[in-house]
Structure 1
Amino acid sequence: MRILVCPHDMQLGGSSINAVDLARAVRDLGHEVWVMGRQGPLRQRVAAAGLPLLALPERARVRPSPAVSRTIAAAVRRHRIDVVHTYEYWPLVEAFLGAFVPRGTPVLGTIMSMGSLPPYFPRTGVPLTVGYGELYEETGELRGLEGARVHLLEPPVDTAIDHPIGSATADGEPEVDVDAFAAEHGLLKPAPTVVVVSRLARHLKQEHLERTMDAVARLAPEVPGLRLVMVGGGSIEGELQARAAALNGDLGRRAIVLTGEMADPRPAYALADVVVGMGSSALRGMAFGKPTVVVGEQGFSKAVAPETIGDFDALGFYGLGAGRVPVEQDPLLGHLIALLRDEAERERIGTWSLDLVRRRFALDGQATRLVEWYEQARAERPVARGRVGEAVRVGGRLVGFKATQRGQALRRRTRGPRRATTG
């Protein structure tokens, strides 16, 4: 097959990294695969994988973008693409309008992000894969009566690359240089180390990142030498740097270290005693044999263990709590201290985590399933009349969605500050 893969963007986020890793694994199964994207650091990963990269227009004034749809359509014609595989919301709609409706080229969409499907999504003809159980059930109910297939595709982990130091690696794969990483960031002295690898973004991530910083600062006086290493870049990096500086000032030492973005964060995972994360980042920590605590939103945190793994089936490696609480009441404190003080427990959970990732989340197995779904999408291509009818319905729902967004934005702009009253 000839497959065009369209990641959400070319930043170093979980969904986009998954897109490139799966594209490479599908290519290695004997298929021709192209990746399409704008500028961004993920291009280095695409080049390292030896995948051909096609350019998208750098600026899109509106989403879905007609220019992007036209670019996808041109690539489908030029390379005689059999299936277009998109990741997240707008790329799916753009491929739907550019490749599926006019040409009947099958489009398969993957949704890894949290939250319900938006109302403008195609409900027939475009199969979906989703990353966690609750969205799988919700999407199946939404689309099942109309005949569109939904598959569960949990985040993949390339265990040939992400693995404990000293274990078998793929031929030619370089070992992780933890010493060089530690020297670069002033981490040479052995110390209890908590690691976070994440996009430093406001949406979904900010609470998770701030709570982890505050928890480590709170525990630092109780755990000699305790430090947090936070790897990543993004829109709130400056805010987090300022928070780290303030916390370090209060502690009188450099307990919280922000390294900035890393194309290859494996040395950080390898250095960790405990990993804190969500989604793909949590799974990568587990692939290194590290005990992992998932921190979500609204005060949620839970250690991943044989006793708790079933709790993550609904929302994936994420969660919602009853509400954020002061740091001294944050359950994250208990999870961290229990693991940091018990080396035998860290070893038990780390060994179990590694085995789970290899059995359930390995990249090769996920790629094999994906190829089966590509073949299924080719075999079930709807006729032209059905494609056009669904395009009309999508257009109507999209107009309604955009009108609602504009109305909400207008109300926010026109709602002035409340006047103070006296009595």
Structure 2
Amino acid sequence: MKILVFPHELEIGGSQINAIEIAAAVQKRGHEVVIFGTKGALNARITELGLEFIESPRPSHRPTPAIIRALNQLISSRGFAVLHGYEWPPTLECALAATQTPAVAVSTVMSMAVAPFIPKHLPLMVGTADILAAEQKFGRTLTELLEPPVDLAANNPSVELGVQTFRRQWGLESSSFVVSTVTRLAAELKLEGLLSAIEAVGRVAHQIPVQLLIAGRGPAGNIVEAAAIEVNRRTGRRVVVLAGQMDDPRAAYAAADLVLGMGSSALRAMAFAKPLVVQGEQGFWELLTPESLPLFLQKGWFGTGPGPETGAGKLAGLLMEVYRSPGRRRELSAFSLATVTGRFSLARAAELQEAFYVRSMQEPPAVQVRNNLGATGRFVVHQLTQHTRQLFGSAAADDFNAQRPGKRAAVVRQALKGMRG
């Protein structure tokens, strides 16, 4: 098969890393795979994995006509059989480009909800069992589960990453209990937890030798930095260390005694055999244990708590619990590694992805007019809603990563009600 994979961007992030690494694993299975997109930090990873890269036109309002034209030209000149869009903007552009061509468009959504205006007939893969059930109930005709995988060859406890040099570089003391988080410093999903984590280490810093390493950058960076400076001032030492974005953040995982994370970052921590506290929103923090694992397998590596005011206290308690029991830490480390090795390997994901491509190409041509009309109507509602929110300063930059599956339908219904009113 000739496959074009189109991540929604090529800056550091879980969905796009998954897109690139799965693409490389599929290529190893004998297919021709090309990455399409605008250049970013992950171009180095594309080159490292031996994938061809084709630069797309710069996106404007999505879907972008220039991108659709470029995809059409590539179908014609290169004979791509599959156009694979990750998240909703590339998905719509791939779907529009594939119309009336031999190519098949497919989609992967690793956000916390699927945009309702992605046509229901479009083959779709999602990252959690809950989202899969919600999309099947929504009426999608071919939707399957692909849990975010980890490249266990590149991410494992035996990889030499110069951990001691890394710790010295960032002022992580030899006696410190290092808590790491590798994340985008964004308002949606991330900021509440980051601020809770900073406050939590500040609360326990007088009892245990904790240091929190934050690797990442983003639009909320100034807020995170101000909170870190305040905690460091209050405790009188460098409790919070801001390392900025790392093109290769593996040493941040490897150097940790405990990792805070969600989504693919949580799985990477497990690949390095680290105890893991899963971060969510509304005060959610939960230690990965054999008892809590079923929750994450059902709902994804995320959760919702009782309220943001509870987060710092909950996490502070977990930090104390894990620090004070070295034996438990060893058990949790072994459990993390066993879980990710048994269920989340990149090789398994490539097999599932290849089979999904084959099924998508074998699907009989659907009667798509009604589906497309419905999707178009939902897209218009979304755009009008986003425009209204922008006018009042409340639009989310990552609109479907800020929604749970159950909220998506309610948001659409409310917007339609507003239009009729």
Query: TM-score, normalised to structure 1's length?
Result: 0.89
Q: Does 1:305 align with 2:289?
A: yes
**Residue of structure 2 equivalent to 1:416:** none
1:351 offset after TM fit, Å? 0.3
**Residue of structure 2 equivalent to 1:397:** 378
**Residue of structure 1 equivalent to 2:413:** none
Q: Does 1:341 align with 2:324?
A: yes
Counterpart pick for 1:208 among 185, 193, 217: 193
- Kept in 1, the 8 Å contact 2:95–2:106? The answer is no
- Kept in 2, the 8 Å contact 1:181–1:267? The answer is yes
Aligned residue for 1:5, secondary structure, equals strand
Larger CA deviation: 260-269 vs 234-243: 234-243
1:324 offset after TM fit, Å? 1.3
RMSD: 1.7
- Kept in 1, the 8 Å contact 2:285–2:311? The answer is no
Within a 5 Å distance, the mapping from 1:187-266 to structure 2 comes to: 187-223=172-208, 225-266=209-250
Q: Does 1:183 align with 2:168?
A: yes
- Kept in 1, the 8 Å contact 2:59–2:67? The answer is no
**Residue of structure 1 equivalent to 2:80:** 81
Aligned length: 394
Q: Does 1:374 align with 2:357?
A: yes
Q: Does 1:139 align with 2:135?
A: yes
- Kept in 1, the 8 Å contact 2:5–2:36? The answer is yes
Per-residue CA deviation, residues 11-38 of structure 1 (Å, 9 max, x unaligned), is 1011011111101111111111000111
- Kept in 1, the 8 Å contact 2:187–2:220? The answer is yes
**Residue of structure 2 equivalent to 1:271:** 255
1:394 offset after TM fit, Å? 2.8
Mapped to 1, the partners of 2:311 and 2:368 lie a distance apart of 53
Aligned residue for 2:100, secondary structure, equals helix
Mapped to 2, the partners of 1:411 and 1:55 lie a distance apart of 35
Per-residue CA deviation, residues 116-146 of structure 1 (Å, 9 max, x unaligned), is x33311011x1111001111100011124xx
1:402 offset after TM fit, Å? 2.0
Larger CA deviation: 354-363 vs 262-271: 262-271
- Kept in 2, the 8 Å contact 1:156–1:366? The answer is yes
1:336 offset after TM fit, Å? 1.5
- Structure 2 alignment gaps of length 5 or more: 395-421
Larger CA deviation: 180-189 vs 237-246: 180-189
Change (3 A) 1:63 1:291: same
Q: Percent identity?
A: 37
- Kept in 1, the 8 Å contact 2:81–2:102? The answer is no
1:150 offset after TM fit, Å? 0.8
Aligned residue for 1:357, secondary structure, equals helix
**Residue of structure 2 equivalent to 1:291:** 275
Per-residue CA deviation, residues 226-283 of structure 1 (Å, 9 max, x unaligned), is 1011111111122211211111011000111010111111111111111011111111
Mapped to 2, the partners of 1:135 and 1:81 lie a distance apart of 29
Mapped to 1, the partners of 2:198 and 2:31 lie a distance apart of 44
- Kept in 2, the 8 Å contact 1:104–1:382? The answer is no
Mapped to 2, the partners of 1:194 and 1:411 lie a distance apart of 38
Letter in 1 for 2:183: S
1:410 offset after TM fit, Å? 4.5
Q: Does 1:114 align with 2:127?
A: no
Mapped to 1, the partners of 2:212 and 2:392 lie a distance apart of 42
Counterpart pick for 1:350 among 305, 308, 333: 333
Mapped to 2, the partners of 1:3 and 1:389 lie a distance apart of 28
**Residue of structure 1 equivalent to 2:403:** none
1:372 offset after TM fit, Å? 0.4
Letter in 1 for 2:90: P
Mapped to 2, the partners of 1:239 and 1:286 lie a distance apart of 29
- Structure 1 alignment gaps of length 5 or more: 170-174, 414-423
Change (3 A) 1:275 1:32: same
Letter in 2 for 1:363: L
**Residue of structure 2 equivalent to 1:280:** 264
Structure number with greater Rg is 1
- Kept in 1, the 8 Å contact 2:283–2:306? The answer is yes
Q: Does 1:52 align with 2:52?
A: yes
1:81 offset after TM fit, Å? 0.6
**Residue of structure 2 equivalent to 1:163:** 156
**Residue of structure 2 equivalent to 1:123:** 120
Per-residue CA deviation, residues 339-377 of structure 1 (Å, 9 max, x unaligned), is 111111010011011011001000000111110010111
Letter in 2 for 1:137: A
**Residue of structure 2 equivalent to 1:102:** 100
1:333 offset after TM fit, Å? 1.6
